[in-house]
Amino acid sequence: MEWSIVDEAGKFLCEANCQYDCYDLSTMMYNATELRYYIEEKKCQIISREED
């Protein structure tokens, strides 16, 4: 897997195949509502999450 998903503090959460998978996994598994993509680093950071 090429992409990584990290939380608000930069802690690694999981890997993904592409930026589209990052979106899907972040929203479905981690309740993300806002993401930031770092294309050159192939990293997706969760900026905010849905409140429980």
Question: What CA–CA distance (Å, rounded) separates 42 from 3?
Answer: 5
Looking at the chain, how many residues does it have? 52
Phi, psi of 27 (to 5 degrees): -80, -40
pTM: 0.90
pLDDT tens sequence across 1-52: 899 999 999 999 999 999 999 999 999 999 999 999 999 999 999 999 998 6
The pLDDT, as a whole number, for residue 6 is 98
